[in-house]
Amino acid sequence: MGISPFHVLEFLLMGSLVGFLGGFLGIGGGAVMIALLNYWIFPSLGVSAAVMIHLSLGTSLAIIIPASIAGSWAQTRIGNVGWRMVCLMAIPGIVGSFLGSTIAAYLPSQVLRPLFGILLILISAQMLLQKKTAGEAGESLPPRVSAVLMVGAAVGLFSGLFGLGGGVIGIPLMIRFLRLPIHRAVGNSIAFVMFTSLVGAAGYVLHGWKDPNLPPLSLGYVHIPAWILAGIPSILLSGLGVKAAGKARPIGLRRIFALILGAVGVRMMLS
């Protein structure tokens, strides 16, 4: 299970691909990263099937941490983050994220993998059906505190359970129930992800600490080489993807990608 130059190249390529697609298509890269880790990189490293999906989920959350910090800083500078709302959501979100990672750690792979497959299918459907104009309604009245807390709890639980940042569910919920315009929902989601990804990753580290099936260079259910080698290009290429999206129309590619993601979800359901 040694890390060869070929494996280093795999991590770098994965991070670059995930970062660019996340910025270009406007989706979180976590779903792509988990699929690539589970079906491509970790099998080539000889990782045990008993921990492969758990290691993929925990590593994905760890990689999201620095990316979310960088994204939060950028969104704050252009005024898209309401930190009072983000901090309010973070109260139940932190609890939900740790609870989600705890549940995932105790679910066997044969249960967790199909659940993640269903999630990929739902994400695929959302990408195919999403309207360009969704969420353009302005903020009329401040959302109720109870609604903010409920959204925070739901996104936190989702993030910890499935190893994702939470934007894929957080943005639609903020638009629908908190009545945020799309640019504010995106900014608040990225800032909120800082909290959920940090706590969720810590949960995967804690609950996977003594697992005898883990490969070398793992910190619980977080693979350190993947965290570093895929995380750095993911951050760098994300900005390039955003710029490319501003000069192109990624709708066609978005649909193709959604179909591929759905196919991967079907495979994970049936495996």
- Least Cα distance to 201 among 57, 58, 38, 29 occurs for 58
**pLDDT score recorded for residue 88:** 96
The beta strands (E) that lie in 112-200 are given as: none
Q: How many CA atoms lie within 13 A of 146 on its CB side?
A: 0
- C-alpha–C-alpha distance, residues 17 and 244, integer Å: 14
Residue 96's pLDDT is 95
Nearest to 68 by CA among 177, 186, 224: 186
CB atoms under 10 Å from CB of 115, counted, come to: 15
Cα–Cα dist 216/145, whole Å: 45
pLDDT at position 136:
47
- Whole-angstrom distance, CA of residue 103 vs CA of residue 250: 36
Which pLDDT score is estimated for 183? 79
What are the sequence ranges of the domains in the chain?
A: 5-270
**Residue numbers in the chain where pLDDT is lower than 50:** 133-139
Q: Mind listing the pLDDT tens digit for each residue in 154-203? A: 999 988 988 877 777 787 788 888 988 877 887 898 889 889 989 999 99
DSSP string, 27-76: S-SHHHHHHHIIIIIHHHTT--TTTHHHHHHHHHHHHHHHHHHHHHHHHH
Instruction: Specify burial of residue 52 (Cβ count, 10 A radius: 0-12, 13-18, 19+).
Output: buried
Q: Which helix (H) or strand (E) holds 223?
A: strand 222-223
CA 124 – CA 264 distance, rounded (Å):
10
> What's the pLDDT at 91?
95
- The answer to whether the beta carbons of residues 60 and 37 sit under 8 Å apart is yes
Alpha-carbon torsion 180, 184, 153, 260, what sign?
Answer: positive
pLDDT of residue 133: 43
From residue 63, alpha-carbon distances to 18, 28, 30, 194, 245 in Å are 11, 12, 9, 11, 23
**What pTM does this model have?**
0.83
pLDDT at 270: 80
Angle at 19 between CA 22 and CA 209, to 5 degrees: 105
